[in-house]
Amino acid sequence: MKTIDVLGQPCPIPVIKAKKALGQADVEAVTVKVDNIVAVQNLEKMARGYGYDFSYQEVSPGLFDVLIVKSGAAAPAVEEERSEQGEIRPSAAPERMVVVIGKDGMGAGSDELGKILVKGFIYSLTELKTPPESVVFFNSGVFLTAEGSSAIDDLKRLEAAGTNILSCGTCINYFELQGKLAVGSVADMYGITEKMAGASNTISI
């Protein structure tokens, strides 16, 4: 039995950590400690999808222990593209996926929530079996690649895996972020257009 403490960790970290643990051949069951019912529901969806046994209990108000047991079901395979240190690596023939991020938040409504969501989205990109070929930032999205951004570590992981991290030069100048780029490189609009036109799959948020 392996215990995973993800108290205070935002979506999608609880699911990703549980899936990784269950992908190990010597792990038959995990207990995941979470602090919100949405995380419980997300873990249940993942577990049911793999045919695992699932149960949970509220150990104290707002705190839950989630038990997931393989029970003979097929485990999610640990991607061969990852090294023993957990570094992500592109496959031999990666899909030409380009992700375009046009603001420093995700969705409409609460700006604070949007910033949490976009950070979770970027983290999720690092967990894909095949990382994107490029992630392009424009408009206020360039703040995510600048000094002080909470997404820098995840973007550096993507860059280390071979993903091009590109920030719109005009946008950097507009927001006076010259010299503050913390990851990736500056691109002009023609270069950005070429990346998007050559992609087999473009995701824009």
pTM over 0.75: no
Q: Check residue 72 and give its pLDDT.
A: 57
- 51 contacts: CB under 8 Å, gap ≥ 6: 71, 73, 74
> Per-residue pLDDT for the chain (205 aa), expressed as one digit of tens each?
899 999 998 888 898 899 999 989 899 999 999 998 888 988 998 898 889 999 999 999 999 999 999 975 554 544 444 444 555 554 444 568 999 999 999 988 899 999 999 999 999 999 998 999 999 999 999 999 999 999 999 999 999 999 999 999 889 989 999 889 999 999 888 788 888 998 989 999 8
Q: Decide: residue 72, CB within 10 A, 0-12 exposed, 13-18 middle, 19+ buried.
A: exposed
Superfamily the domain 2-69 falls into:
TusA-like domain (3.30.110.40)
- Domains of the chain, by residue range, sit at 2-69, 97-204
Give the pLDDT score at 11.
Answer: 81
CATH level 3 topology of 97-204: Hypothetical Protein Ychn; Chain: A, (3.40.1260)
* Closest to 145 measured CA to CA, from 185, 100, 183: 183
Helix extents (H) in the chain: 13-22, 37-49, 111-126, 152-160, 169-174, 189-197
**pLDDT value at position 164?**
93
pLDDT for 189 = 85
State the Cα–Cα distance between residues 114 and 106, nearest whole angstrom.
4
